[in-house]
Chains A and B, each alone.
Chain A
Amino acid sequence: MTRLLALTKKELRIHFSSPPVFLAIGFFLSAAALWFFFIYGFLARDTASLRGYFAAVPILMVLVIPALTMKGWAEEYRLGTSELLLTLPLRSWELVLGKYLGTMTVVLVMVLLTVPVAFLLMPLGEFDLGQITAEYIGTVLLSGTAVALGLFVSVWCTNQSTAFTGAAGLLLVLTLIGRLDSVLSLPAPFLAVFRYVSLDTHFDGFVRGVLDVRALWYYVWLTALCLYVTSLVLEARRRA
């Protein structure tokens, strides 16, 4: 546990000395608010709900999370620090979890900085606090899975730009695959599978204010799977 905590702290230090991390957070906050107030038209819709704000989260995560995870393993390989890391008396899963928790802490700070949106709009109407809570839970779970996917991509790459592009591409596909039916006519069973696989489809319930066990399970399961495969890859490198 102490080793895990030390690893997490190290990751946090790296993140908070990296300009792309601050740029990514700033971009996320600004873009989400711009979308909500000007494109979605919060005031024009005259509805006391943050659904529109959170509806933009999955697509914004496609750009923001890869910016946070691209350094993960790719940078370690490029600088050669991975050699040192892999020789430390730490298990592969500890290394993976340490990086994951470090990045997740940054994501949580970013999500926390969206609270003023809700807080400042409260006097305007009767917002459903239960729904907003569910929306935040969904955002944390979605970004948790996206971070695990980003680190999973990063472990295969040796430079940051490849890691960024790969993670963004994977997240984009997993986000939009559930909406494939709007551009392609596919048989219903395929669409059902695509909807199940999509990160966005499972997020819908949270945006409505409902915590669906299947959606919760899906995010936790996919996160665990990605972290597991990442640790396997790391272990294979270590053994090689």
Chain B
Amino acid sequence: MQSPARYRLVYFVLVPLAFVVAGVLGSQVSGRIDLTTGQLYTISPPARERLEQLENPVRIRYFLSPRLESYSGEPERIREYLEEFAAISPLVELQVLDASDPEHRETALDLGLLPQQLTDRDRDSQSLVTVFSGVVLGYGDSQTVLPFVLDSEELEYELVSAWDEMITERAFEIAVMSGNQELELRSAYQNALLRLSERFAVRLVEQGDQIPASADMLFVFGNKDLSGTTVAQIGEFLAAGGGVMLSIEGVHVQLDDELTARELPPSDLDLLLEQYGVRVSRELVLDRFHMIVPLAGAGGGPESFVRYPHWITLMSRNAAPGHPVSEAVAGIDLFWPSRIEPLGESPPGLQLTQLYTTSYEGRVMDSPFATNPALGEDVYDRIWREGGDRIGVVMALSGSFPFYADAGSDAGEDVGSDAGAHAGTQRSDEMADDGRLLLVGGGYTFSDFLELGEDPMRNLRFLTAAGHWLAGDEDLLALLGRTSQDLRLNGLSSSNLRAAVVRFAQWVNIVVIPAFVLLFGAMRIIRRRRIKSAAYVDSTEASSPATKRR
């Protein structure tokens, strides 16, 4: 038995002291186990590699308003991530600066950080406070700013791409061109251009202009009015080892003519693609996984929503597994897509990958096309009765592209002269560099039409991923892919079935299981009471005088 003094010393002084010490020490230890698929919150190997290969010091300044930190958990996670970053390399100097300090606030504004307004509620009033959460990277004399960061999930991608740009002092350049005269780049592709310019140097090119020699990639939106000269330029560019993304169609839907659709006539582009072993069919692709679109009521009546199988939504499960682009993007929405299919065996030196297909419920519609949603859903009855299949709508080609033999009727002598400068002037098949080509079956895919899609961000993300893949920047593509899980509830094609599953889950979890628990409890308690009362009766009988006499 311990003496009272010793007991008091141990239990009331030493053990509580140990608890306090353990509590304080425990709050200082950092470390975490990331259980998310793709380890979303852990520094990835490409980022780690960059840090380990650093030769000169990098300065990271994180301007953070404490007010924001108490408002959301994200700044704390961003800070932890940056600390983890700094812990890997001794050449990374991290400073977390209090942006509420007038001096730091001034610096933050001078550096181009974006202040945000936050509502600050007090007991009787509410006011707006200005907060910062921006990162400034410094390397030698150069500096890159992430103006406002409040999403720890995309931070790594943002940080590493900014890092690369700063250290290499160069951004990949994309020449962007519209192949549809009705859609002017600056007015019809605002979202796409804005998104691309966040990561790449974007140059707008008109048809007939030469592709700039400095361009690493060429993006062509639409093909309806693509001239033979431009097609020849594209061929030259690819053969020279460039990267090209074409959003193309075999059937064009006229937006200003009640959405009438017509097959595009054979063109030089068809000839070019044939040379690569690919064909764009003159059919429209439909899918059971499609969008629901608003339809204005007749005569100014109320708006209604109709199912529209011409606008299809492709998910990660429709993608080729293992391809960096499909791994980085959870899917894509296509408007009046066309089939893109291989023509027999792929040409030597070229690798063809069917990047996205429809679901197994894909169908095709031949001419005459019924594309107006006002026609109702009955027009698709015959098509749905036919057997469905997976239909290719996005294709990736990589390898050595053969030189374009037939430049077409209007291809001039100086065709692609600047593109030629990209890889030299006199070339032969043997000298062709490895190029990359992405074919997206839908002329409107990246136009501002995408705002009407299921998730506009996915198409924009696809563009960024396409840019990284065409530039050969697999690391950044992998980083982008870390946050690309398709979390939509799209596991079941039928919305009725989906609603039924949810209803079943609701019943089971709200009513059935709780009711089962209560019933089980009631039965158990009743049983115990019966046993108890039986035991009581037995004991009273046993102790009664009559029983005793017996």
The answer to whether A and B belong to the same complex is: yes
Interface residues of A (CB under 8 A from B): 16-17, 19, 21-23, 25-27, 29-30, 33-34, 37, 42-43, 46-49, 113-114, 116-117, 120-126, 128-131, 133-134, 181-185, 188, 191-192, 195-196, 201, 204-205, 208-214, 217-218, 221, 224-225, 228, 232, 235
Residue of B19, B27, B30 near A224 (CB, 8 A) is B19
Residue of B11, B70, B522 near A232 (CB, 8 A) is B11
CA distance A209 to B22 in the complex (A): 25
Q: Mark B34-46, 1 if CB is under 8 A from A, else 0.
A: 1111001100000
CA distance A35 to B410 in the complex (A): 66
Does B19 lie within 8 Å of A19, measured CB to CB? no
On chain B, the number of residues with a Cβ less than 8 Å from chain A's Cβ atoms is 60
Could you tell me the distance in whole angstroms from the C-beta of B20 to the nearest C-beta in chain A?
9
Q: Is B528 an interface residue (CB 8 A)?
A: yes
In the complex, 26 of the A-B residue pairs with CB atoms within 8 angstroms, ordered by the A residue number, are: A17-B525, A23-B521, A26-B515, A29-B514, A46-B489, A47-B489, A48-B487, A120-B509, A123-B491, A125-B490, A125-B491, A126-B485, A131-B36, A134-B35, A188-B69, A188-B70, A192-B69, A208-B41, A209-B36, A209-B40, A210-B33, A211-B32, A213-B32, A214-B27, A217-B29, A221-B26
CA distance A180 to B184 in the complex (A): 52
CA distance A205 to B96 in the complex (A): 22
CA distance A123 to B517 in the complex (A): 26
Interface residues of B (CB under 8 A from A): 11-12, 15, 19, 22-23, 26-27, 29-37, 40-41, 66-67, 69-71, 73, 120-123, 316, 485-492, 498-499, 501-502, 504-506, 508-511, 513-515, 517-518, 520-522, 524-525, 528
Given A46-B488, A116-B508, 15 more pairs with CB closer than 8 A: A17-B524, A23-B518, A37-B505, A37-B509, A116-B505, A125-B487, A125-B489, A126-B486, A130-B37, A183-B123, A185-B120, A209-B40, A211-B32, A211-B34, A221-B22
Does B26 lie within 8 Å of A182, measured CB to CB? no
Does A121 lie within 8 Å of B15, measured CB to CB? no
Q: Which residues of B contact A114 (CB under 8 A)?
A: 509
Could you tell me the distance in whole angstroms from the C-beta of A197 to the nearest C-beta in chain B?
11
Does B32 lie within 8 Å of A17, measured CB to CB? no
Does B505 lie within 8 Å of A120, measured CB to CB? yes
Residue of B66, B121, B486 near A188 (CB, 8 A) is B66
CA distance A11 to B123 in the complex (A): 46
Does B510 lie within 8 Å of A37, measured CB to CB? yes
Does A43 lie within 8 Å of B35, measured CB to CB? no
Residue of B121, B316, B518, B524 near A126 (CB, 8 A) is B316
Q: Which residues of B contact A22 (CB under 8 A)?
A: 517-518, 520-522, 525
CA distance A124 to B515 in the complex (A): 25
Does B70 lie within 8 Å of A181, measured CB to CB? yes
Q: Which residues of A contact B506 (CB under 8 A)?
A: 33, 37
Could you tell me the distance in whole angstroms from the C-beta of A146 to the nearest C-beta in chain B?
18
Q: Which residues of B contact A42 (CB under 8 A)?
A: 502
Could you tell me the distance in whole angstroms from the C-beta of A142 to the nearest C-beta in chain B?
16
CA distance A232 to B16 in the complex (A): 11
CA distance A117 to B502 in the complex (A): 10
Does A201 lie within 8 Å of B73, measured CB to CB? yes
Q: Which residues of B contact A181 (CB under 8 A)?
A: 70-71
Does B501 lie within 8 Å of A124, measured CB to CB? yes
